[in-house]
Amino acid sequence: MDAFKVIGGNPLRGDVVISGAKNAALPILMSALLSKTPIVFSNVPKLNDILTTVKLLGQLGAKTQWLSDNQLMIDASSIDICRAPYDLVKTMRASILVLGPLLARMGHAEVSLPGGCAIGARPVNLHIEGLKLMGADITVEDGYIIAKKEGRLSGATILMDMVSVTGTENLMMAAALADGITIIENAAREPEIVDLAECLISMGAKITGAGTNTLTIEGVSELNGKEYSVMPDRIETGTFLVAAAVTQGHIKCLNTDPTALEAVLAKLKEAGALITTGEDWIEIEMTGPAKAVNIRTAPHPAFPTDMQAQFMTMNVLAEGTATVIETIFENRFMHVPELQRMGADIALEGNTAIVKGVETLNGAQVMATDLRASASLVIAGLVAKSPTQVDRIYHIDRGYLCIEGKLQGLGANITRIKAD
Ligand SMILES: CC(=O)N[C@H]1[C@@H](OP(=O)(O)OP(=O)(O)OC[C@H]2O[C@@H](n3ccc(=O)[nH]c3=O)[C@H](O)[C@@H]2O)O[C@H](CO)[C@@H](O)[C@@H]1O
Ligand SMILES: C=C(OP(=O)(O)O)C(=O)O
């Protein structure tokens, strides 16, 4: 497996172009399964999770073609297979997002249960319960969710027990082709939900309330997409901003959307960063060590769990002591022991990390355990006093488009060590 070698000491400086959002592109590409016409998607980040999605859509009978590096055409007019196999689902949990569209379009879906992963158990009960309320007959057999419905799904009122991003997305896609009105209460409000809703609306869906906790979807009998451009990646943006802050650098993120990052920008300002924003750019300048900032992750618009690990690294080197509370996933502190090996002072108590700032970190050979944990270790490497090797970076390749190239462009000393 590939690894990164990072030699710290260079403050990041310059411009970086932000890619399309992985977590918006995944449901949006799956939504092509609902369309009887081919759709051209742009601003699609060609990273590993997207390549997995393309493979999965191909296995279901959709035709896919890259028109350029970030433009993908999907033609699902004649899909004929309803099974998402374990081999693909196990490499990408978001494969569960084919469940709603396949069931709505074909009346039948078989999707391997994704299983647990590094950051938590991550069950999909809310996806299943919601579809059952819409009239689906769902069983679990031999590790597969088997969902069937004769005729169209029926509109229903669904109160989600917990806020679930992909759960809301799956149900919204299914409801778009259902017979009648579906109301999803306690819906997720993440910007990626709004982007998916806008994509579905461009296909002819009738959806209101995206971005609030109540979604209303009036089902239509057919959807016909044409083109859609994916929103910028707010988590990639946040990751570069934190990397600039930790290295006491000065960078500008281009092709991004500051309105999707309010909680993150507020915390960076609290840490002492000078932030300026325009319609599609964010500039950050940091002229001294960060001040420690308390973090509590929660559903949007609160602080995103996908930025927790990166802020942990910032706090590790900050002036003062910070408390980092993770409320979304039960096991999202896997970066902590690795940061400790580099000299971090972190005490864990359940879902709370107490981080006492230290002046320097030492480089070490560390192991990337999940996507954002990997990013936090790369950031730590950018300031460590000796070289750092981050192993198992396939996680980072799942979710960041050429992170090393973008960091090199900002002056970082990072190289990929290719596996034999
Ligand atoms: C591809 C994608 O968009 N991934 C994001 C999505 O993941 P994902 O959509 O998988 O995360 P959820 O919002 O569903 O999970 C939130 C919490 O609800 C729980 N839960 C969820 C569904 C369910 O049926 N039952 C249940 O108990 C989960 O275990 C977790 O504790 O939102 C997370 C929370 O912002 C982000 O960290 C992920 O990057
Ligand atoms: C946890 C993440 O992704 P996924 O839901 O695909 O595992 C993430 O993007 O940080």
117 is catalytic: yes
Task: Tell me the pTM.
Answer: 0.98
φ/ψ bin of 278: left (φ > 0), alpha (ψ from -120 to 50), beta (otherwise): beta
Nearest ligand 1 atom, CA 128: 24
Burial level of 201, CB count in 10 A (0-12/13-18/19+)?
middle
Contact between residue 385 and residue 407 where contact means Cβ atoms under 8 Å apart: no
Q: Among all chains, which residue has been given the structure tokens 């990626």? A: 192
pLDDT per position as a tens digit, 369-395: 899 999 999 999 999 999 999 999 989
Q: Which residue shows structure tokens 């069950």?
A: 123
Q: Of the residues 82, 117, 199, 253, which is catalytic?
A: 117
The tens digit of pLDDT for each residue in 95-150 reads: 999 999 999 999 999 999 986 668 988 999 999 999 999 999 999 999 999 999 99
Residue with tokens 């869906």: 205
Ligand 2 center to 119 CA (angstroms): 9
Q: Whose CA is nearest to atom 39 of ligand 1?
A: 306
Binding-site annotation: residue ranges: 22-23, 93, 306, 328
What dihedral angle (degrees, nearest 10) is formed by the CA atoms of 294, 298, 300, 304? 60
Segment 239-263 mean pLDDT = 98
pLDDT at 420: 77
pLDDT at 1 (0 to 100): 86
Cis peptide before 191 (omega within 30 of 0): no
- Ligand 1 pocket test target in 122, 163, 326 with most atoms within 8 Å of CB: 122
Pairing of β 137-141 and β 144-148: antiparallel
Compute, in angstroms, the gap from residue 122 CA to the centroid of ligand 1: 7
Ligand 1 pocket residue status of 135, Cβ below 6 Å: no
Tell me whether residue 359 is exposed, middle or buried, using C-beta atoms within 10 angstroms of its C-beta: 0 to 12, 13 to 18, 19 or more: exposed
Inter-CA distances, 326 with 41, 53, 306, 405, Å: 34, 29, 10, 30
Q: What's the chain's average pLDDT?
A: 97
- Please give the distance, rounded to the nearest whole angstrom, from the Cα atom of residue 399 to the centre of ligand 2: 8
- Residue 116, pLDDT score: 60
Q: Which helix (H) or strand (E) holds 63?
A: strand 63-68
Whether the per-residue pLDDT at 311 is higher than 70: the answer is: yes
Closest listed ligand to the CA of 330: 1
Please work out whether the CB of residue 373 comes within 6 Å of at least one atom of ligand 1: no
Q: How many whole angstroms separate alpha carbon 349 and alpha carbon 357?
A: 17
Q: What is the pLDDT of residues 187-220, one digit of tens each?
A: 999 999 999 999 999 999 999 999 999 999 999 9
Answer yes or no: are the C-beta atoms of 158 and 126 closer than 8 Å. no
CB-defined site of ligand 2, < 6 Å: 23, 93-94, 306, 371-372, 399
ipTM over 0.95: yes
